[in-house]
Amino acid sequence: MLILASKSPRRNELLKLTGYSFLTVPAVKDENVPSGTAPGDAVLMLSQQKAEEISESHPNDIVIGADTVVALGNRIMGKPKDEADAFTMLKALSGKTHTVLTGVCIISPDKKINFYEQTEVEFYTLGENEIMQYIASGEPMDKAGAYGIQEKGALFVKRINGDFYNVVGLPVARLARELKSLM
């Protein structure tokens, strides 16, 4: 059986694109990354933590863990703690190019695959009122970097370089190829 170790509705929808049948069993442990960890290393560690947690209780299944962060240089932006944090993130991303990284860990009974994809996203310059209206919609509160490219956050995006679905939360093309090698 294939298991997605995530509570993200976006990852659930994206995994459906691969055509595989799967169960969703969310990881619940706290996500811990040492301060100063590089963004790529952070998503590898977090995705592995999630996959390992669920794999412990499902050792005969294939488990997928994933984690997405937005990075402005080496500054990692996860989900905002509150509206002020969301404003700070969006203001920092305004008019700049940032990187979205999604780490994926696949654990099968006899193999572990851990990789990440990264996509560059350039934002238009955002006005304070524009940011406040977006925050008032509630949309940015459960998303890394305080925006969803697949929703109203798309209005901020000038261009992307890389996998669009990676920015949404799961690099499905790469994931499908890795799963094919296991099944």
pLDDT digits (tens, 9 = 90+) for 86-139: 999 999 999 999 999 999 999 999 999 999 999 999 999 999 999 999 999 999
12 near 33, Cβ under 8 Å? no
Strand 111-123 to 97-108 pairing: antiparallel
Instruction: Assign 68 a pLDDT band (cuts: 50, 70, 90).
Output: very high
This prediction's pTM: 0.91
Return the active site residues. 67
> What are 49's two structure tokens?
């933590």
65 near 116, Cβ under 8 Å? no
What CA–CA distance (Å, rounded) separates 47 from 32? 11
- Where is 118: in which H helix or E strand? strand 111-123
Find the helix packing angle between 83-93 and 128-136, rounded to 10°: 140
DSSP-derived 3-state class of residue 179: helix
